[in-house]
Amino acid sequence: MFHGASMKQDSEAASPPVGESSAQQAFASYAAPLIGQVIELAEAVREDTSPEALHKLRVSLRRLRSLWWAFAPLLDKGENARQRAVFQFLATAAGKTRDWDILIELLAQSDSGAGELLPKLEAARGETLALSRETLSNADVKRLLQEAFASTSAELDSNQEPRIALRKFAARRVSASKRSLETRIKRASRAKRSNYAAFHDVRKAGKKLRYLFEFFGPVLKGSHQRTLERLKRIQERFGHLNDTVSSEALLREHAALLAGADDMDAALLWLGRERKRRMRAAAGLLH
């Protein structure tokens, strides 16, 4: 079994994927450095308690999940779903602390009048961080990711299906992701403002497409600047909406833990108003 560092070195030493190489051959060039990065970030959060460290880890795990989605047509469906579920579990473990960071940042920079609530939120964040670290440590991130890489690489190497050029494969997967995003945009544009799930689906689909452009952009034909600019706008507005929705839900979920804080109602009132404002901004982008 190889290590995350060696995977990263091997990938850096190899030439980047070219459009004429097969998708099966190119997988390792995409996966190895990303897995190495995730392993390093997972080890770093043992010492680095900053919001940025956890954010980077969660983003890298999401990119990893999107990469496995991209190569799903070449892989066994059950095994691919299992690997992606593992990545999701790890991202959720990192994300729980990150959610507290977002709530604290929102209230600290707002005029909600909830300043006295912040020390309690910081304490809750500290407890969640300890749990996140314990979960990631017990999960043995390094071993899980190495096994995922080895298993998927072996499956692609032994696959008897005809080889497909990376350029052609990448174009198909990006097109599939685009169609998924457009479907969700249409659904959200017809949904009621109270249907946040439809808006959240747009955000997830847009994020996945952006990751695919990051992976496959160099081997795709033509310019995709307009699409990327649109994705950036979607990510910004829908990301801001998600921050308020998640923060409001988190505060309500832990109302008992934060009992006795006089400014709890003020915080919820401000978050509710902010959610509606950001929902309107996101809806405006759909049209």
CATH number at residue 229: 1.40.20.10
Hey, which residues does 165 pair with through a beta bridge? 22
Confidence grade of residue 46 (pLDDT, cut at 50, 70, 90)? confident
- Give yes or no for residue 13 having a pLDDT over 60: no
The pLDDT of residue 286? 86
Only one residue has tokens 């033509």, namely 222
* Of 224, 200, 198, the residue nearest 210 (C-alpha): 224
What are the tens digits of pLDDT across the range 172-212?
999 999 999 999 999 999 988 788 999 999 999 999 999 99
- The Cα–Cα gap between 93 and 36 comes to 19
Hey, which residues does 22 pair with through a beta bridge? 165
Contact 36, 4 (CB under 8 A): yes
- The Cα–Cα gap between 60 and 49 comes to 17
pTM, full prediction = 0.86
Better pLDDT: 1 or 225: 225
Residue numbers of the domain that contains 112: 4-286
The pLDDT of residue 6? 44
The pLDDT of residue 183? 96
156-175 in b/e form (b: 16+ CB < 10 A) is beeeeeeeebbbebbbebbe
How many domains would you assign to the chain? 1
- Give yes or no for residue 10 having a pLDDT over 90: no
The pLDDT of residue 262? 66
